[in-house]
């Protein structure tokens, strides 16, 4: 049966749009996770700053997520500002991307083909946020103190201003062709976790920031992993100085808190990866003692082992990001 020309034209347009969407998703999607591949060997790439410099990013690698060896120290320095709290992922376009805290109201982006040579992309000025949200007013904490010890400040009630004064600790979350950044923002007081989604593969256009529901005010350093149909958020309660664990059926929440692991106090900068044996590992920065620890879970993030000190890097590396890929 012959179809009218206008129907053929409409179907052609729809087909073209579908191809374009698929192409965009292919550019944005990250490397497959553990559920998508089961290779014999894994490679873990770690990026972080150090106790001696928040203006240089060091790069390490490991085959077991425990023993890390340097690839290049001071592998990247942004044109200006800091490179704190870097987070890394590898896209299907072959590039490694990092996002990081610049120390201002913007977050930084850089990329590399080989994890050694990094190119500055841009600083993204975070849009307005936080108006009327609790925990984002003029807090009593000091951002200068955080650069020395890690404490980000405290909450003191809702903000009447929408103007972002701090955009910190961005973390990638990639799923189903969508590249997201989870970051902590405030208008001068305590932080609230937000989610932004990339609107194009150059990572220059982003959706407006959306508050992540259920975590509450005064949370920072939020990272999320998905196991099965459940999203697991690990976030620092800045008031109590502890890392909390919350779960949800949706990336943006609402989240509900569950029992945390035996991670102690005065810890932050959590990063979570899956180990070669299928277990999970959470790394934490004991910023006051300037030591780094890890804790493992073998039952799907329900229970955790006591903290163990990370060999080699503890005492030098600070809030880092880790990505796992098959080799």
Q: Which residues pair with 106 in a beta bridge?
A: 125
pLDDT at 318: 96
How does the average pLDDT of the chain come out, rounded? 86
Give the pLDDT score at 33.
34
| 223 strand-pairing partners | 234
Say which residue, 19 or 215, is predicted with more confidence.
215
Average pLDDT over residues 121-141: 80
pLDDT of res. 144:
36
Q: What is the pLDDT of residue 248?
A: 98
Where helices occur in the chain by DSSP H, the ranges are 5-28, 143-148
Give pLDDT, residue 152: 58
Q: What pLDDT does 153 receive?
A: 54
Instruction: Residue 13: count other Cβ atoms within 10 Å of its Cβ.
Output: 10
* Paired strand residues for 111: 97, 119
Q: Is the pLDDT of residue 36 over 70?
A: no
Q: How confident is the model at residue 16 (pLDDT cuts 50, 70, 90)?
A: very low
Distance of CA 153 to the CA centre of its chain: 20
Reported confidence tier of residue 131, pLDDT bands at 50, 70, 90: confident
Instruction: Pull the structure tokens for residue 186.
Output: 């405030």
Average pLDDT for 238-253: 97
Q: How far is CA 105 from CA 35, 87, 159, 166, 274, in A?
A: 36, 17, 16, 5, 32
pLDDT of residue 15 exceeding 50, the answer is: no
Read off the pLDDT band of 17 (50, 70, 90). very low
Please tell me the predicted confidence (pLDDT) of residue 258: 98
Whether 168 and 219 have beta carbons less than 8 Å apart is answered as no
Return d(Cα 173, Cα 167) in angstroms, integer.
17
CA distances from residue 66 to 87, 282, 310 in whole angstroms, order as listed: 18, 11, 7
In the predicted structure, residue 64 carries a pLDDT above the cut 60: yes
In this predicted model, which residue has the larger pLDDT, 33 or 203?
203
> Which tens digits make up the pLDDT trace of 133-182?
877 775 544 333 333 344 455 556 788 788 899 999 999 999 988 999 99
The tokens of 135 are what? 């925990």
Note the pLDDT of residue 266. Answer: 97
Whether residue 235 is predicted with pLDDT greater than 80 in this model: the reply is yes
Give residue-wise pLDDT tens across range 254-290. 999 999 999 999 999 999 999 999 999 999 999 999 9
In the chain, the percentage of residues whose pLDDT exceeds 70 is 83
Residue with tokens 């087909």: 15
Using the 8-state DSSP alphabet, how is residue 288 labeled? Answer: T
pLDDT at 102: 97
Residue 187 pLDDT? 85
């Amino acid at each position: 049966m012959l179809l009218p020309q206008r129907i053929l034209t409409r179907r052609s347009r729809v087909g073209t749009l579908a191809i374009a969407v698929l192409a965009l998703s292919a550019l944005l999607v990250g490397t497959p996770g553990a559920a998508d591949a089961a290779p014999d060997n894994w490679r873990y790439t770690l990026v972080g700053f150090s106790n001696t410099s928040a203006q240089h990013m060091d790069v390490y690698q490991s085959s077991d997520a425990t023993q890390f060896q340097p690839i290049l120290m001071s592998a990247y320095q942004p044109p200006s500002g800091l490179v704190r709290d870097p987070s890394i992922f590898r896209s299907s376009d072959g590039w490694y991307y990092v996002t990081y805290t610049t120390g201002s109201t913007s977050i930084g982006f850089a990329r590399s083909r080989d994890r050694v040579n990094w190119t500055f992309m841009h600083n993204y000025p975070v849009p307005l946020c936080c108006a009327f949200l609790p925990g984002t007013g003029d807090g009593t904490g000091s951002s200068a103190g955080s650069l020395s010890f890690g404490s980000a400040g405290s909450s003191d009630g809702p903000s009447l201003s929408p103007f972002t004064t701090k955009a910190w600790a961005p973390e990638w979350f990639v799923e189903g062709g969508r590249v997201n950044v989870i970051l902590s923002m405030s208008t001068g007081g305590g932080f609230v976790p937000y989610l932004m989604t990339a609107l194009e593969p150059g990572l220059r256009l982003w959706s407006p920031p959306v508050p992540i529901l259920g975590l509450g005010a005064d949370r920072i350093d939020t990272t999320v992993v998905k196991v099965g149909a459940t999203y697991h958020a690990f976030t620092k309660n800045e008031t109590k100085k502890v890392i909390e664990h919350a779960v949800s059926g949706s990336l943006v929440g609402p989240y509900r808190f569950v029992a945390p692991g035996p991670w102690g106090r005065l810890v932050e900068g959590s990063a979570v990866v899956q180990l070669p044996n299928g277990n999970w590992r959470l790394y934490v920065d004991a910023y006051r003692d300037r030591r780094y620890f890890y804790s493992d879970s073998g039952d799907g993030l329900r229970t955790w082992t006591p903290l163990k000190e990370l060999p080699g890097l503890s005492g030098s590396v600070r809030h880092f990001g880790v990505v796992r890929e098959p080799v």
